[in-house]
Amino acid sequence: MSQTTSNPTNDDQIEFWNGKAGEEWAERNDQMDRMLAPFRDAAIAAAKPRPGERVLDIGCGCADTSLSLAKEVGPDGQVLGVDVSGPMLALAQHKAEAAQLSNCLSFEEADASAYGFDEGAFDLLFSRFGVMFFADPPGAFANMRKALKPSGRVAFICWAPVFDNDWVMVPLAAALQHIPAPEPAAPHAPGPFGLSDKVYVEEMLEIAGFSNIAIEPFEIMMRVGAGVEKDKIADFFMEMGPVSRALTNSDEALSDTVRAAIQAAVEPHYADGAVNLKGSCWIVTANNA
């Protein structure tokens, strides 16, 4: 794993994913992987990786999807996981070694929007929730497209608009009864919902040079915080994901009040060891032109 230069306009995100967010994601990795497994399976089904293929897993994080992709492409294939987060990649490397997949799975600590990929080397550009954080999405996708063979394809899953994601809206609405609402983000600003506008995603991929773009909805009841005890479930929302981001600048003195409000809002949805709330995404596929 080596370190490379990055696009300076992504500095905020790089700092964010190397700070508390990346550390907590790595600490809660088992819970996150369990929660996101249905999205992994749906995105990989859309990507259709084949034995012997070379795959890029962008924003691979702790490598749950990279490991699955490595098993799909087999010993004659290759997967390269690219991510900016040191703490998440350290766990990724450890998991690849433990699974004895290091021969066909490697990692690069790099900003995918600026990294000098081997040109025309990959069959598939894949991501589960790792491509919504670019300051310049068309530029980033154009850079990643250069890594694809002429016959290559892209497949990724990203969140649909926040208002369709109850797993965010239910705890967030409870928190916002006690803290000021964050400044509304600029359209398509880097963040979990940066690619939630379907029309924008299609235009953006066209500008980046992709063709045959398909954007399909994927909606499930998520099992949020699986394995967390019912009376501690508010902590999960306060530490992980979009709700924790909204709380970043909130008054610490209020945190017990906010925790109690989130707990009361999500507890009615707790069943079989997890909070069951709707998650809504887009599964995006396209071909290299």
Ligand X SMILES: C[S@@+](CC[C@H](N)C(=O)[O-])C[C@H]1O[C@@H](n2cnc3c(N)ncnc32)[C@H](O)[C@@H]1O
Place of tokens 């409000």: 261
Is residue 93 at the binding interface for ligand X, with CB under 6 A as the rule? Answer: no
Instruction: Find the part of the chain contacting ligand X (CB under 6 A) among 68-76, 106-114, 165-173, 278-286.
Output: 106-114
- Report the candidate in 241, 239, 228 with the shortest Cα–Cα distance to residue 267: 228
User: Is the CB of 15 or the CB of 231 nearer to ligand X?
Assistant: 15
Instruction: Find the part of the chain contacting ligand X (CB under 6 A) among 45-53, 105-113, 170-178, 278-286.
Output: 105-113
By CB under 6 A, name the one of 108, 111, 123, 166 that touches ligand X.
111
Q: C-beta of 13: minimal distance to ligand X in Å?
A: 5
Report how far residue 237's alpha carbon sits from residue 165's, in angstroms, rounded to the nearest whole number. 14
Report how far residue 117's alpha carbon sits from residue 119's, in angstroms, rounded to the nearest whole number. 6
Site residues for ligand X, window 63-82 (CB under 6 A)? 64-65, 82
By CB under 6 A, name the one of 26, 70, 84, 234 that touches ligand X.
84
Is residue 59 at the binding interface for ligand X, with CB under 6 A as the rule? Answer: yes
Is residue 10 at the binding interface for ligand X, with CB under 6 A as the rule? Answer: yes
- Report the candidate in 129, 127, 151 with the shortest Cα–Cα distance to residue 57: 127
Site residues for ligand X, window 12-41 (CB under 6 A)? 13, 17, 36
Question: Longest C-alpha distance within the chain, in Å?
Answer: 56
* Alpha helices for the chain (secondary structure H): 11-18, 20-27, 29-47, 64-73, 86-98, 137-145, 166-175, 198-208, 233-239, 241-246, 255-266
Q: C-beta of 20: minimal distance to ligand X in Å?
A: 13
Place of tokens 């954080």: 133
Q: C-beta of 40: minimal distance to ligand X in Å?
A: 7
Instruction: Find the part of the chain contacting ligand X (CB under 6 A) among 70-78, 83-91, 168-176, 193-201.
Output: 83-91
The kind and range of the H/E element at 100 are none
- Report the candidate in 147, 149, 121, 153 with the shortest Cα–Cα distance to residue 47: 153
Q: Could you tell me the CA-to-CA distances from 288 to 133, 144, 205, 284 in Å, in that order?
A: 21, 11, 10, 13
By CB under 6 A, name the one of 47, 49, 56, 61 that touches ligand X.
61
Is residue 95 at the binding interface for ligand X, with CB under 6 A as the rule? Answer: no
Binding site for ligand X (CB under 6 A): 10, 13, 17, 36, 58-62, 64-65, 82-85, 88, 111-113, 128-130, 133-134
